[in-house]
Amino acid sequence: MDLPQTLATLVHSSLGHRASPFLVAICGWADTGKSTLAARLCAALGQLGARGDSISTDDFMRDRAERNALGISGYDLRSLNVQALQGALASFAKREPFSVHPYDNRTGTKSLRPRTVQPVDVLVVEGIHSLHLSLAQQMDLKVFIDSDEATLRQMRYRANIQKRGMTPVDAAARISSEWEDYIVVVRPRVEVADLVVQVDAEFRYLCLKGGA
């Protein structure tokens, strides 16, 4: 399944002559390809003549050291600056530029240099908190990336080592501390999704709900 093209076609067909810009949420467990999917969706939209950009909810999260000091994971809602994220979406809705400080997974910190997001037709908000209770109603298309527990843990373990430079022991320990928060906070948001997409460890996608 060519998920970026499928989503781009769906979004483009919904744009029409609407006055307001379009918001897409891509939610799910970490390291399931959400940021790559968002980038490819924006590229596919460009081929259809629509302007797209993406941001990550990670850009509005406490740095890793701060979360560790507080004893919370990134899945804990206390890790997210909801007000700042809501402000960014409000600017987008008014077709005004806004700035984000991109999060670096390897260092666990946000960049000191901001990135300005210019007004576009479609903004893709990807990340574990993109279907947060205070955000979901604003989203025009809500996508949840899902899989079985073993596959999700495998993908996270691999990324913890390759993307974050963790040792195998630390990579496994990190997952154990995060899984309960994911099940309590993020996984239930699948119920509000328009599309639920199953992913395997090789990032192949199959639409389970809301698609053909």
pLDDT in tens, 36-64: 999 999 999 999 999 999 999 999 999 99
Residue 133 CB partners (closer than 8 Å, separation 6+): none
Q: Is 185 exposed, middle or buried (0-12, 13-18, 19+ CB in 10 A)?
A: middle
Residue 111 CB partners (closer than 8 Å, separation 6+): 101, 102, 103, 104
Residue type, 72: I
DSSP string of 65-133, one letter each residue:
HHHHHHT--TTSGGGB-HHHHHHHHHHHHTT--EEE--EETTTTEE-SS-EEE---SEEEEESTTTT-T
pLDDT of residue 210: 62
Nearest Cα to Cα of residue 189 among 25, 80, 27: 27
pLDDT of residue 212: 37
pLDDT of residue 211: 44
pLDDT of residue 173: 85
Q: Kind and range of the H or E element at 34? A: helix 34-47
* Spans of the chain, pLDDT less than 70: 208, 210-212
pLDDT of residue 170: 87
